[in-house]
Amino acid sequence: MVASGASAADALAAAADSFAAAGIETPRLDAEVLLSELSGIDRAALIADRDLTLEPAAARAFSEAVRRRIRREPVAYILGSKGFRHIELTVDRRVLVPRPETEMLVELALEVQPESVLEIGTGSGAIALAVADELPGCRITASDVSDGAIEVAAANANRLGLCERVEFLVGSLPVGAAGFDLILANLPYVPDSDGLPPEVGQWEPPEALFGGPDGTDVIASVLAGMGGAGVTAPVIGLEIGQGQGERVAAMLRAVGWSETEVRPDLAGIERLMVGRTS
């Protein structure tokens, strides 16, 4: 418990020690981010001014946040938001916390410069809304099988003022849709047997994470369903997991994307599969 009137330096030190004891990988960073957001004090000021004291409301909020983080609840869920590209998204346990590697899908859209995009498995709306934000002339259709995820994504679109160019629908694929210029998808790709950090495995929605024994079952199912739904595009981008490149490339070629390319993320892990029809 952080005492009212306690110094920010002492509060940070105590929180960081508690986080380290709980096995959290970035204890000091997490403590600084939480206290800065909850107190409204810039992180640099928190670090530089050792005589800075906390208002009672900030001390109480930080104490509760520390308790939640010790239980390994993600920082983004505690704060209720997560930055992605140039936008800030509301997030909760109905959706995955957006990851930096997923920005590769947005970068593909910037490369292709499409006028129309279908995003499958939108979650919080991170990809669709970032594309809409950075490509003002683009219209996006975004789908998810989770009603809760669509509620979160639609609320984010409304708050960001992007409702007019992003349409959300419940389900995997739009039925009878016209062709798109680009399809983007971050589908579940974690193998069922993979052990995950507590922040992920205990808190994030499992239906958005796990993709069968080798992690590619959901990807295979969605790709197989595209023909019947009339969903086409000359370019597709899929986020994938380590070791899945060859399998996913074969799936793409089997349904018409004859040219495939896998791109690594900053850690050197194959992360983005790109398919082109010619």
Residue 177 in this model has a pLDDT that exceeds 90: no
Would you list the domain boundaries of the chain? 8-71, 90-276
Compute, in degrees rounded to 10, the torsion defined by CA atoms 252, 146, 104, 74: -140
User: Which residue type sits at 122?
Assistant: T
pLDDT at 194: 78
The whole-number pLDDT of residue 4 equals: 53
CA distances 102 to 5, 146, 177, 178, 266, Å, are: 41, 19, 25, 26, 11
Residue 3 has pLDDT above 90, yes or no: no
Q: For residues 203 and 72, what is the distance between their CA atoms, to the nearest angstrom?
A: 8
The angle formed by the CA atoms of residues 32, 33 and 39, to the nearest 5 degrees, is: 85
List, in sequence order, every beta strand (DSSP E) within the chain.
Answer: 81-84, 87-90, 116-120, 139-144, 166-170, 182-185, 235-239, 259-264, 270-276
Q: What is the pLDDT of residue 203?
A: 97
**Residue 35, pLDDT above cutoff 80:** yes
Burial class for 98, CB neighbours closer than 10 Å (0-12, 13-18, 19+) = buried
Tell me 64's DSSP state: H
CB neighbours (10 Å) of residue 277?
Answer: 13
Q: Does the pLDDT value for residue 2 go beyond 80?
A: no
pLDDT at 230: 81
Q: Given its phi and psi angles, is residue 161 left (phi above 0), alpha (psi -120 to 50 degrees) or beta?
A: left
pLDDT at residue 76 greater than cutoff 80: yes
Instruction: For residue 218, give both structure tokens.
Output: 């959901």
Q: How many whole angstroms separate alpha carbon 2 and alpha carbon 62?
A: 7
pLDDT band at residue 48 using 50, 70 and 90 as cut-offs: confident
pLDDT in tens, 147-159: 999 999 999 999 9
Residue 187 pLDDT level (bands cut at 50, 70, 90): very high
Chain mean pLDDT for the chain: 94
Sequence-distant (≥ 6) Cβ neighbours of residue 212 within 8 angstroms: 191, 192, 218
- pLDDT at position 215: 95
Short-list 76, 97, 226, 138, CA closest to 238:
226
Orientation of helix 217-229 relative to helix 245-254, angle to 10°: 10
Which residues share a beta bridge with 83? 88
Q: How much of the chain exceeds pLDDT 70, in percent?
A: 97
CATH class in words for 90-276: alpha beta
The pLDDT assigned to 1 comes to: 52
Packed helices 126-134 and 103-112: angle between N→C axes, nearest 10 degrees: 40
Residue 193, pLDDT score: 80
Name residue 101's amino acid: E
DSSP-derived pairing of the beta strands 139-144 and 87-90: unpaired
**For residue 198, what pLDDT is reported?**
95
Q: Which two tokens stand for residue 209?
A: 């994470």
Residue 139 and residue 141: Cα distance in Å, rounded? Answer: 7
- 139 pLDDT more than 80: yes
